[in-house]
Amino acid sequence: MKKAFLLVVLSIISMTLLSACGSSSAESKKVTIGVTGTDGKQWEVIKEKAAEEGIEIELVEFSDYTLPNQALANGDIDLNAFQHIAFLNQFKQEHDLNLVPIGTTLIAPMGLYSEKFASPDEIPDGSEIAIPNDPTNQARALKLLQDAGLLTLSDDFGLFGTPEDIADNPKGLKITPIVAQQTPRVLKDVAASVINNGIAGQAGFVPNEDSIFFEDPDNEGAKPYINIIAAREEDKDNEVYKRIVEIHQSEAVEEAIIEDTNGGSVVVRTPISELQDVID
């Protein structure tokens, strides 16, 4: 009787342990990804393809750019996919976070948009131009305005310059930094607005057609603005996360991104190792 009872107990314990191991394995295949927009077709394709390999992706949407990195560092999410290299570097240094890029996704060129003027040359003296207010995109927008011939930046402008670093403003333009998501909404009130590619697409624009000036994605200076998937440093070699990067770089996802952004975004498959100088 004692032997039989012991065998039953051991059997129950073994089944419990096996069940627990199975649960752990299943949980390791569920990945939460922080994003700032979930309405694009690309994520449906990514989720579908990941599910075919037993990877469940849950998207966690954030209302602005300041939240997903802190959530990743805190362990509230497993990965995030919303930012470029320059933004991640600036944010993690400011907040002392151990986050790293584990794969490239796309580059989303910025554009200058206007409801009143057909080219930068037509913008009158003293006009107001809206730009995104987060540090890296603010600097990127100012570089775009310089490329458009509207102003000149200081020689030491760098990746985090501000309107105070404008060296020459011949038209006396008023540069107004605002929350990035608001840049399309103020078009009726300003002469022009610099709008991030993704936000422009969500607002109904065809980025490389409706803008009056467009960033060149092939320019060497655009590399810091390649979008990436980020993880905690201790998870950089996680095989499931690496597989999600590969899925994001697949042809099916590229087609969805082209459709989502009206051809405005360009998929990037450059390995992180080849961008280490930019990251550093």
What is the helix, strand, coil percentage profile of the chain, to 5?
45, 20, 30
Taken in order of first residue, the domains within the chain and their CATH numbers are 30-108+222-279 (3.40.190.10), 111-215 (3.40.190.10)
pLDDT by residue (tens digit) across 70-99? 999 999 999 999 999 999 998 999 999 999
Q: What are phi and psi of 34, to 5 degrees?
A: -85, 130
Contacts of 139 (CB under 8 A, 6+ apart): 157, 158, 159, 160, 161, 162
- The verdict on pTM exceeding 0.85 is no
pLDDT by residue (tens digit) across 131-181? 999 888 899 999 999 999 999 999 999 888 999 999 999 999 999 999 999
Sign of CA dihedral 23, 245, 37, 136: positive
Q: Kindly state the DSSP code that residue 51 receives in the 8-state scheme.
A: H
